[in-house]
Amino acid sequence: MELKEKLMSSYLAFEEQVDMENDIHSERNKAIKFFESTGFPTKRMEAWKYTSLNSILKEDYSIFPKKEDAIDYKDIKKYLIHDIDTYTIVFIDGIYSSHLSRTTHDKLDACLMSSALNKSKYKSIMDKYFNKIVPEESMSSLNTAFAKEGAYIRIPKNVSAEKPIQILNFSTGNESALMIQPRNLIIAEDGSHVQIIERHQSLTDNPVLTNSVTEVYVGQNAEVDYYKIQNDKTTSSLIDNTFIKQERDSTCSLHTFSLGGKITRNNLRFYQHGQNCNSILKGVTILEGKQHVDHNTLVHHIEPNCESHQDYKGIFSEKSVGVFNGSILVDRLAQKTNAFQSNNNILLDDGATCNSKPQLEIFADDVKCSHGCTIGQLNNEALYYLRTRGIPKKEARALLMFAFANKVLGSVKIPEIKKRITKQIALKLEVELGFNL
């Protein structure tokens, strides 16, 4: 059976598990109808021109995995930022694991979407926020249709979360192939501050397809600092759909570290709904083998006096493929917008590919927008310079790549993440650094 048909018939079974009287369910019904009419994205669609999902859609995925408790902390520890105190929300095969998680309702909510969707005390919040900024698109609609579990985070007005919150999705390989669709909702109310780390990780080589949707609401003068660590097995694929709505005077920065996975697609959209917003989108992508990463970004400048900064760097070796499709949309009202975008790529092998497509649509007449993309090899002059200092060619090449990728890490605010990613990058590039990280 085709995956689409399987999903459509699974939807009927899914309905039996959820409260069909709940208002949320009408959203699900609408979404499944939309998905039914469009199906999975294909390369014929402009936004998917360089990424084909065909190779991952042919697996016979389980849609409803069995509950599995056999995972211990020691199995997952290395995938956590464990050297600092954090709240953690852990899902195993899409199912919440209470014994691996550390949630809270004290001062802030860091807990479960299933509670938020079902408990009446959250109803007014769900009415206000759930599925309000998710566009009707094939993959995000599919997620909405099956929306049931994920992380629910709410930081009340003027609260600063004193520790970062980690959202972790593990898959065990208990199913021969697994599809999971986490649904996250993050609300940072006015004047609040929160740091979030998200990771999807398979523990075996069985195929996994994750189609996640995250809605992030950043209130007035609030600050959200978000890190996505994508360093999964080459048998796992991820379609990440993240939608961020910012109110006035807010800041949201989102770093995406794409270091592994079969196919990774990041649909990342920022909507600036107030003046003086700042949106920061950064990415480091380092791939080898036949891995494929597609960054599809949009910053929509709706109000005047806002800023956005996009900076994505990629290093591609062997037969890996990188795609960057970065859009900046400036509405007629959004005067004095400062929007910057840069995408730099290094191709190390003849078989590696990179498609970079900046897309600027500007309807205001008093704005500063710039974009630049480069695809190239390492700078030979720089290589020579390092070699005259006694650094051998191989190490010099690695050091230059490291430096290139490292540039993006300057804005990482959690030192443990910076250290970990730096190490990971050094490891991937086989850099023998003469200094400790």
Partner 1 sequence: MLNIKNLHASVDGVKILKGIDLEINAGEVHAIMGPNGSGKSTLASVIAGNEDFEVTEGDILFEKANISELSPEERAHKGIFLSFQYPIEIPGVSVTNFIKTSINQVRKSRGQKDMPANEMLKKIREKSALLDMDRKFLSRSLNEGFSGGEKKRNEIFQMAMLEPKLAILDETDSGLDIDALRIVSDGVNRLRNKGNATLVITHYQRLLDYVVPDVVHVLVDGKIVKTGGKELAKELEERGYDWLKEERAEMT
CB of 398 to partner 1, least distance (A): 10
In the chain, the amino acid numbered 298 is L
Q: Which is nearer to partner 1, 44 or 389 (CB)?
A: 389
> 305: phi > 0 → left, psi -120 to 50 → alpha, else beta; which?
left
Compute φ and ψ for 404, nearest 5 degrees: -60, -50
Asked if residue 435 binds partner 1 (CB under 8 A), the reply is: yes
Asked if residue 13 binds partner 1 (CB under 8 A), the reply is: no
CA angle 305, 308, 313 (to 5 degrees): 165
Q: Which is nearer to partner 1, 263 or 405 (CB)?
A: 405
* Residue of the chain from 404, 414, 417, 421 that contacts partner 1 (CB under 8 A): 404
> 12: phi > 0 → left, psi -120 to 50 → alpha, else beta; which?
alpha
Residue identified by tokens 């999975």 is 40
Q: Element (H or E) spanning 366, and its range?
A: none
CB of 381 to partner 1, least distance (A): 5
Q: Element (H or E) spanning 200, and its range?
A: strand 193-202
CB of 252 to partner 1, least distance (A): 25
Asked if residue 74 binds partner 1 (CB under 8 A), the reply is: no
* Residue of the chain from 189, 245, 402, 417 that contacts partner 1 (CB under 8 A): 402
List the interface residues with partner 1, window 334-393 (CB under 8 A): 379, 381-382, 384-393
User: Minimal CA–CA distance to 116: which of 86, 146, 147?
Assistant: 147
CB of 385 to partner 1, least distance (A): 4
Asked if residue 395 binds partner 1 (CB under 8 A), the reply is: yes
Classified as helix, coil or strand, 212 is strand
Direct distance between the N- and C-terminal alpha carbons of the chain, in angstroms, rounded to an integer = 50
Stretch that binds partner 1, among 30-38, 135-143, 197-205, 400-408 (CB under 8 A): 400-408
- Largest interatomic CA distance in the chain: 72
Q: Which is nearer to partner 1, 92 or 405 (CB)?
A: 405
* Residue of the chain from 44, 78, 120, 434 that contacts partner 1 (CB under 8 A): 434
Catalog residues that contact partner 1 under the rule CB under 8 A. 379, 381-382, 384-393, 395-396, 399-400, 402-407, 433-436
